[in-house]
Amino acid sequence: MGPDEPAPTDREPDHRFTLANERTFLARMRTAIALLAGGVAVHGLGSTVDLAGRSLLASIAIVLSLALVLDSYRWWDKVQTAMRHDQPLPRSLGVPLLTVGLSAIAAIALVLVLA
């Protein structure tokens, strides 16, 4: 390693990987925005669904949106750091969180539609 080369623990990652990481972050932000909009829309359904059901669905969607936003930034930052230090990529909490949260929303929506 020459004097002008960066230390292997602080190397600029390939720009393609950095941009792919950013695209993943932005996709998660779009999902969070959709959840937020869905929560607001569900809450405004009017009298077609009882207030408790609407509030429950809206609350889960909005909380899931917030959690996804916060986890997405944390995960994006950890991926950037891992790539700079040539370490394995971290696991994401967002994937299981989104899976469980959307499953809960779908199950409650199904119960409310069938009731």
- Name the pTM for this structure: 0.73
Tell me if 68 is assigned to some domain.
Answer: yes
Tell me if 3 is assigned to some domain.
Answer: no
Q: What is the span of the domain harbouring residue 25? A: 15-114
Tell me if 4 is assigned to some domain.
Answer: no
Query: Closest Cα to residue 26, out of 64, 62, 65, 69?
Result: 69
Q: What is the number of structural domains in the chain?
A: 1
Tell me if 65 is assigned to some domain.
Answer: yes
Tell me if 9 is assigned to some domain.
Answer: no
Each residue's pLDDT, cut to its tens digit, for the chain (115 residues) gives: 455 655 556 777 778 888 888 899 999 999 999 998 988 888 777 666 788 888 888 899 999 999 999 999 999 999 999 989 989 989 888 888 888 988 998 888 888 878 7
